[in-house]
Structure 1
Amino acid sequence: MENFLDEIPDEELCGERVTLRLLHEGDAPALFSLIDGSREFLARHLPWPAECTCVEDVESRIDSWEIQAQMANGACWGIFERDTMQLAGVIILGWIQAAHLSASVSYWLGECFTGRGLATDALKILSHFAFNRLGLNRLEISASVTNKASQAVATRAGYTQEGFSREFERINGKFEDHVRFSRLARDPQ
């Protein structure tokens, strides 16, 4: 664990199409607007959109992500489209297990930002950061079996499908199976 940090650094991570920046309270209105404008789209595969009913709900989530970053057990970056610097979505590094040098990754984009390679670029950038800057060894992604777009992002970013998690998450009152992907620090870039 010699490379593992005590706190997730608050630095911009730049890629071909996107810039990643840790979210702060001032980002709450833009993030709420993005969620609100894509609510039905997001609710197809995610359990939480109905819980974000106002800017204060988003501020609360951002506060918890900031605390996690300070404790080095997770963080949430805004995915900003590089050309316009518009907030397009988020990517989260969560459940960091320092003893095992592993973590989970999740991501989503607003509906109007899909299909441009932004999520794939964000996942590649964050994976590189997690392996090379944080010293993690394993990253894991879980995506609903019906969310083919999210599965394709994981595959394009070099993640390997490992298996299925039965009834992993409850979405819209129904349990959904998920496909599990992973990537190791030693896997080809």
Structure 2
Amino acid sequence: MNAPESHVDPLLLTLPTVLTGTQARLHAYTDADGAAVRDCVLASREHLAPWMPWVKDWDDPLQGERYVRKMQAQWIKREDFVFIIRDAATGAFAGACGLHEPDWSVPKLMIGYWISPAFQGKGLVTEATRLLVKFGFEHLQAQRLSITCDAANVRSANVPQRAGFTQEAYIRNERRNAAGALSDTLLFGLTREDWLALRAAGSPEVL
């Protein structure tokens, strides 16, 4: 059965700016977060560089402040929804995640995430992704969420599978990696119907 035509006006959506799980706590950026996000990016640069070439541009001491202001503006305009990932137990800045590239005619969005190596393997990214999924379907009225990653990034590819997504495609020679070599992309998708069915079944993959 087809979903009804979208009539979502994103500027009228009322959105929470804090999402809380048992391991991860997500916060939309505030003015005070610029230095912390820069410090975390720089500490994670070697870990992130093979998959996220943008980390090379963070040497400017004011880059964190610029980034935070940009994310705040895009949130207000409903163009991007980025959150800090904090460790729920300590409050430490662990990484970031978000819902990107909204197409409000569907609506659909793409999830992205990164984590500091100090917090890798602790389940924060998986729970953060599940929190974003709930946020996307409950608050952004999404009909579809997707995640893409380099096919060689095994850790990143494990996250959508643990969050109930289905691998929909293996796209060859779709991107260039940080070294400039051609690489393949994995595409994962989750529809509103998928998510509702998982919730009704009490699946641990969703919140």
Aligned counterpart, 1:66:
72
Cα deviation code 1:83-113 (max 9, x no counterpart): 0011100002110111110011100000110
The structural deviation recorded for 1:175 is 3.1
Aligned counterpart, 1:9:
15
Q: Which amino acid aligns with 1:54?
A: D
The structural deviation recorded for 1:184 is 0.9
Q: Which amino acid aligns with 2:162?
A: R
Aligned counterpart, 1:186:
193
Consecutive unaligned residues in structure 2, runs of 5 or more? 1-5, 200-207
How far apart are the structure 1 equivalents of 2:107 and 2:66?
A: 27
Aligned counterpart, 1:44:
50
The structural deviation recorded for 1:51 is 1.4
How far apart are the structure 1 equivalents of 2:67 and 2:173?
A: 25
Q: Which amino acid aligns with 2:71?
A: W
Task: Select between 3-12 and 72-81 the one with higher mean Cα deviation.
Answer: 3-12
Consecutive unaligned residues in structure 1, runs of 5 or more? none
Q: Secondary structure at the match of 2:62?
A: helix
Count the aligned residue pairs: 189
Equivalent residue in structure 2 for 1:144, among 150, 174, 199 = 150
Cα contact 2:112–2:147 (8 A) shared by 1: yes
Superposition RMSD in Å:
1.7
Cα deviation code 1:36-85 (max 9, x no counterpart): 11111100211211011134222222222212111112111000110001
Percent identity for Structure 1 against Structure 2: 26
Choose 1 or 2 for highest CA Rg. Answer: 2
The structural deviation recorded for 1:24 is 2.4
The structural deviation recorded for 1:167 is 3.4
Cα contact 1:8–1:72 (8 A) shared by 2: no
Bigger relative contact order (CA 8 A; separation at least 6):
1
TM-score by length of 2: 0.85
Aligned counterpart, 2:62:
56
Q: Secondary structure at the match of 1:45?
A: coil
Cα contact 2:173–2:184 (8 A) shared by 1: yes
Aligned counterpart, 1:176:
183
User: Mapping of 1:69-108 within 5 angstroms?
Assistant: 69-108=75-114
Task: Select between 165-174 and 16-25 the one with higher mean Cα deviation.
Answer: 165-174
